[in-house]
Structure 1
Amino acid sequence: MLLRENPSAEALETWIIQLRREFHRYPELSFEEYETQKRILKILEEMGIEARKIADTGVLASIKGTSPGPCIALRSDIDGLQVQEELTEKNSEYISRNKGVMHACGHDGHMAMLFGTAKLFQEKRDFPGEVRLIFQPAEEIPPGGAERVIAEGGLEGVDAIMGMHIFTNHESGSVGLRPGPFMASTNRFEVILRGKGGHISLPQKCIDPVRMSVDFINSLYSALEKQLEPDRYIIGVGRIRGGAQFNRIPDAVEILGSYRTFDRETTDIIDRTIEECLEKVVKRYVKPGEEFSGFPDYKLDILHGYPVLVNDPVFADAVNSKLQENFPELTIYPEIEKTFAAEDFASYLQKVPGIFLSLGTRNPEKNIVEINHSCTFDIDETILITGTEIFYTISLDFLNNPGKYLNPVTTSTPSR
């Protein structure tokens, strides 16, 4: 690899690992990353990199080359999860010090790799254009921090963007990319089914919302299975809540669920089917008589969260070619499978061309096998220098050769 030939590569790798462990010790929840923000600003100041706050708890920084040229943005998310980290045989030195909060999704590693990349560009300023660094808050909770970054000018003047995520679904150090749709949209639905409560010994005087909720969920799953292929969507109910006593039929039941898709058509079908199933269930439980007037009923709220993450095909093809050329020792998956995981990086890709890569960290020999969001999730830290090299290599090539990354039909070659 490029950096392995550099005598200072070992020192850089050590520094990156130290940063990752520091951030891992002190995770903070979405839009609460104030101490993380202070530390990011301090490190950038020490490196002599111009930076400012953005999206409340995020940081935007800029490294400018020695000649005019395009601008590429590199993004890292910075928030942790509401997870209590468990002690393992590996993490005793860097286990989370913040009770109930953990970097269980690799964001600590993402920050470390972005700092490593920044260090390389800051020390080797002989490049055209600008490298924009986005340390983005609140990736984990919709509506997320990306929209805030965009609204506050984070993409102004940016010609392309690149991001990377650490995953345990492929082997350590391998790289996955996929042109077109890669990660799913995330959508949330909340239903309140209102019946008529009363003593459980007199069901004829009641309308049971518990039975209604069971019928609704079963009918919804069945209706979707008849309309959609299983690879087009995923849906699940995460919470059902209602009632307080064993001998009373409750007045209402709340249902909270989520579904994910790879296209708007599928989302629309699920939206419509949820409402149709609710209408049918409510109609089925209607009872005649004045005492049942206004019952049953329902309330439905649907929140469309992150959009489908779509990698620019031209940009992805150029990235694949450069990775194959510069990293022959790496396993590269140019058509990695789509995932129902979701990412608000998708919002950036709706504004400018770019790519979101998957960096594998699975290493059974080191017992690095737990999936993201697990309370024992960890990463193989040898991948951090790999991710840094990829960030640096692709970004530098884009700055010098933007034409091969940008679709000439929709984007003119930038010049600054």
Structure 2
Amino acid sequence: MCRRSEVISLRDDPSGESLESWIIRLRREFHKYPELSFKEYETQKRILKILGELGIEGRKIADTGVLASIRGTMSGPCIALRTDTDGLQVQEEPAERNREYISRTEGVMHACGHDGHMAMLFGAARMFMENREFPGEVRLIFQPAEEIPPGGSERVIAEGGLEGVDAIIGMHIFTNHESGSVGFRPGPFMASTNRFEVILKGKGGHISLPAKCIDPVRMAVDFINSLNSALEERLDKEKYVLGVGRIQGGAQFNRTPDNVGILGSYRTFDSETTDIIDATIKECLEKIKQEYLKHGEEFSGLPDYELDILHGYPVLVNDPFFTEAVNLKLHESFPELTVYPEIEKTFAAEDFASYLQVVPGVFISLGTRNQKKGIVEINHSCAFDIDEEILLKGSEIFHTLSLDFLKHPEKYLSLQKYHGPQEYIEKT
């Protein structure tokens, strides 16, 4: 997928722009024009244009995503590098720092670092195009719709994005650790995300006649309280988080509404915990229904409820063998880098988890917190920003780890997943 004769000069850019400045410029261009999930059409055009300038042929995937490959001069394995491309429905807050690159799209913002992720991946691509003396293939995945379940990763996989891929690396910018440091952990790293939606059905009427009504507002309060109490009894607090993001019902101060809707989410690190929460939600709803049945007053079919549970992204599980090799290589190649090889698990969720269910790999957290620069806002904040000094380092990490994997896959793959160089010769 590479056009070797059209590769631009990299380090010796005739404009005098350094690689780092180029990466920062790309990040700012992406930041200015964010698009929502599965609507990243202009972003897709920009990605294809930049790939073309690098001499890399890209193709569309998952509607608004892009897939591309850089092949070395020798046969070998294939490693995928993935970035996400979508923004969030957030109105960016103006500041002195971001005035040159603040979002030009009303109500949409790159508030989670995806602009930086794309720029870092392009930086790594330039490094590989500068020196093609490596074995195998680097697969570039510019994935849409990370922000909304079921996520763009499922589409990429279904459309063949991982065909022939032996391993995968992803990276995410976070403000929960200092700028330029990296963190990861073997095994479960990020939580599954699950959504529940409940409609509690009561009997509306005048608020002065409660005996003639079934109050769904009180049902909602009782349900939330009973659910939290039941889960606290059944599960350790470190195994899950659950919260309600919306309660909706009623329109008038003196009328009991007919229905109340509840929308919430919970995060877990294993399927057993998810199953317990699923069952507890249903049990609490059934208990509330029974408690609100009227004696002596007949309301046909009421009270009642509807429940919809959506299991979104699975638990993100880093391959332990691969992760340990990454840890050793980072210490070897970046001795100045602060590395947290056992960083705490996070209840944040990522659809990169789906890739790791197919091929081994690692998801790395790249810190961007910089108190001196005022870059302290958490991801998804309207004031979120990136310490742009980390972007080149992110590109170097992508390049160094993937190049080492291509040359020494046996260091990264367990015996069950690695069968020697002949495997890659036969593939090509």
Superposed pair shares fold, TM > 0.5: yes
**Separation in structure 2 between the aligned mates of residue 374 and residue 191 of structure 1, nearest angstrom:** 28
Is the partner of 1:130 in helix, strand or coil? strand
**Separation in structure 2 between the aligned mates of residue 386 and residue 27 of structure 1, nearest angstrom:** 23
Q: CA deviation at 1:50?
A: 1.7
1:234 alignment counterpart: 241
2:253 alignment counterpart: 246
Post-superposition Cα deviations, 1:227-246, rounded to whole Å, max 9, x if no partner, equal 11111000000000011111
1:76 pairs with 2:83: yes
1:3 alignment counterpart: none
Is the partner of 1:126 in helix, strand or coil? coil
Change (3 A) 1:104 1:387: same
Post-superposition Cα deviations, 1:56-111, rounded to whole Å, max 9, x if no partner, equal 00000000000100000000000000000011120000000001000000000000
1:217 alignment counterpart: 224
Q: CA deviation at 1:177?
A: 1.1
* Correspondence list, 1:391-410, <5 A: 391-410=398-417
**Separation in structure 2 between the aligned mates of residue 206 and residue 92 of structure 1, nearest angstrom:** 55
Is the partner of 1:117 in helix, strand or coil? helix
Post-superposition Cα deviations, 1:22-67, rounded to whole Å, max 9, x if no partner, equal 0000000000000000000001011110210000000000000001
1:361 pairs with 2:368: yes
**Separation in structure 1 between the aligned mates of residue 235 and residue 83 of structure 2, nearest angstrom:** 35
2:209 alignment counterpart: 202
Post-superposition Cα deviations, 1:200-232, rounded to whole Å, max 9, x if no partner, equal 000001111100000000000000000111110
Structure 2 stretches lacking a partner, 5+ long: 1-10
Counterpart AA for 2:57: E
Post-superposition Cα deviations, 1:324-370, rounded to whole Å, max 9, x if no partner, equal 00101010001000000000000000000000000000000010100
Is the partner of 1:210 in helix, strand or coil? helix
Counterpart AA for 1:133: L
**Separation in structure 2 between the aligned mates of residue 301 and residue 72 of structure 1, nearest angstrom:** 38
Q: 1:326 aligns with which of 320, 329, 333?
A: 333
Does the CA-based 8 Å contact 2:409-2:418 persist in structure 1?
no
2:140 alignment counterpart: 133
Q: CA deviation at 1:415?
A: 1.2
Counterpart AA for 1:208: D
Counterpart AA for 1:332: V
Counterpart AA for 1:67: M
1:370 alignment counterpart: 377
1:91 alignment counterpart: 98
Counterpart AA for 1:224: L
**Separation in structure 1 between the aligned mates of residue 252 and residue 93 of structure 2, nearest angstrom:** 36
Counterpart AA for 1:142: P
Change (3 A) 1:126 1:278: same
1:341 pairs with 2:354: no
Counterpart AA for 1:286: L
Q: CA deviation at 1:412?
A: 2.8
Is the partner of 2:203 in helix, strand or coil? coil
Q: CA deviation at 1:291?
A: 3.0
Is the partner of 1:131 in helix, strand or coil? strand
Q: CA deviation at 1:293?
A: 2.2
1:43 pairs with 2:50: yes
Post-superposition Cα deviations, 1:283-307, rounded to whole Å, max 9, x if no partner, equal 0000134631211001100000000
- Segment drifting more, 100-109 vs 291-300: 291-300
**Separation in structure 2 between the aligned mates of residue 338 and residue 176 of structure 1, nearest angstrom:** 10
**Separation in structure 1 between the aligned mates of residue 298 and residue 320 of structure 2, nearest angstrom:** 61
1:145 pairs with 2:140: no
**Separation in structure 2 between the aligned mates of residue 225 and residue 88 of structure 1, nearest angstrom:** 42
The alignment of Structure 1 onto Structure 2 pairs a total of residues equal to 411
Post-superposition Cα deviations, 1:102-146, rounded to whole Å, max 9, x if no partner, equal 000000000000000001111110000000000000000111100
**Separation in structure 1 between the aligned mates of residue 321 and residue 36 of structure 2, nearest angstrom:** 35
Counterpart AA for 1:415: Y
Q: 1:307 aligns with which of 308, 314, 319?
A: 314
For the aligned residues, what is the CA RMSD? 1.2
2:161 alignment counterpart: 154
Is the partner of 2:81 in helix, strand or coil? strand
Identity of aligned residues (%): 78
* TM-score (ref. length: structure 1): 0.97
Is the partner of 2:317 in helix, strand or coil? strand
**Separation in structure 1 between the aligned mates of residue 419 and residue 309 of structure 2, nearest angstrom:** 38
1:388 alignment counterpart: 395
* Correspondence list, 1:106-125, <5 A: 106-125=113-132
2:7 alignment counterpart: none
Q: 1:283 aligns with which of 290, 297, 300?
A: 290
Q: 1:60 aligns with which of 67, 80, 87?
A: 67
Counterpart AA for 1:367: G
Is the partner of 2:372 in helix, strand or coil? helix
Post-superposition Cα deviations, 1:359-411, rounded to whole Å, max 9, x if no partner, equal 00000001010000010100100000010000000000000000110011244
* Correspondence list, 1:247-266, <5 A: 247-266=254-273
Q: Which runs of 4+ in 1 moved over 2 A?
A: 6-10, 288-291, 409-414
**Separation in structure 1 between the aligned mates of residue 386 and residue 32 of structure 2, nearest angstrom:** 14
Change (3 A) 1:51 1:7: closer
